[in-house]
Amino acid sequence: VIESELAQLRTTGVGDWPFVRSGRLSGHRPGLSAYSSESSEAIRFCNHCGNQVDFYVPAGDHLPRHVCVACGNVQYRNPKAIVGMISEAPDGRILMCKRAIPPRVGFWTFPAGYLENGETSGQGAAREAMEEAHAVVEPLGLYLVINAIDANQVYLIHRGRLRTSALRPTPESVEVELMREDRIPWGALAFPAIGRCIRQYFGDRQAGGFPVRTMVLTNVQHAGSIHAF
């Protein structure tokens, strides 16, 4: 059932984990230095009627918005949701992928990407595992909420049970591999936050449970800190 459901989900090719925003890939170095404030980016035209927009605080609001001078349409910019999946095989290894697409080509991560309309965060995380590694994963629940506040992103990292051993590379991953904790390439991970998530996962597993945790990432606090809710 899971396999057939996943097969129906469309492939997007998006796997920007993390810190690089859609449509702004050129010139960005990976990592937290890619952060910038969403509000400083210009929206020039109304997405409803095509006229110009002004940037000001509308009556009754408390933040500046892009407001169309002709039709009054307001274009809100709010954080994007990104989903990720830490998939565990029956023998305890977890699924890792070597990235085939920017940013950080050739570095390792677990599957993650933008949440799509019409799917739950667990479904989206499982879809990313399918897209990046042909992995059929049963979502087990939310594990980590990462508030990347300067990137205007919220990461919803799930845990999952791997339901297939037929993993293989994809257009998004040049290699896919199940790894024990002592096989994780800590020096070749795509982003520092990936390592923090994985270390926390193995630590919680050893301690016997997976409380839902939060992590805050800012552009001055590279590593962030992890707290249980």
Binding site for Zn ion (CB under 5 A): 46, 48-49, 51, 68, 70-71, 73
Q: Which is nearer to Zn ion, 45 or 202 (CB)?
A: 45
Q: Which is nearer to Zn ion, 68 or 193 (CB)?
A: 68
Q: Shortest gap between Cβ of 70 and Zn ion (angstroms)? A: 5
Q: Shortest gap between Cβ of 117 and Zn ion (angstroms)? A: 23
Tell which residue, 22, 13, 23, has the closest CA to residue 99: 13
SS3 61: coil
For 3, how many CA atoms within 13 A lie in the half-sphere containing its CB? 7
Backbone angle region of 44, left / alpha / beta, with phi > 0 → left and psi within -120 to 50 → alpha: alpha
Q: Is the peptide bond before 185 cis (omega within 30 degrees of 0)?
A: no
Q: Shortest gap between Cβ of 43 and Zn ion (angstroms)? A: 11
Pair 16, 22: CB distance under 8 Å: yes
Q: Which is nearer to Zn ion, 46 or 178 (CB)?
A: 46
Q: Which is nearer to Zn ion, 58 or 185 (CB)?
A: 58
Pair 179, 111: CB distance under 8 Å: no
Q: Shortest gap between Cβ of 45 and Zn ion (angstroms)? A: 8
Q: Which is nearer to Zn ion, 67 or 144 (CB)?
A: 67
Q: Shortest gap between Cβ of 75 and Zn ion (angstroms)? A: 9
Q: Decide the pairing of beta strands 94-99 and 173-179.
A: antiparallel
Tell which residue, 48, 50, 69, has the closest CA to residue 58: 69
Strand partners, 67: 54, 74
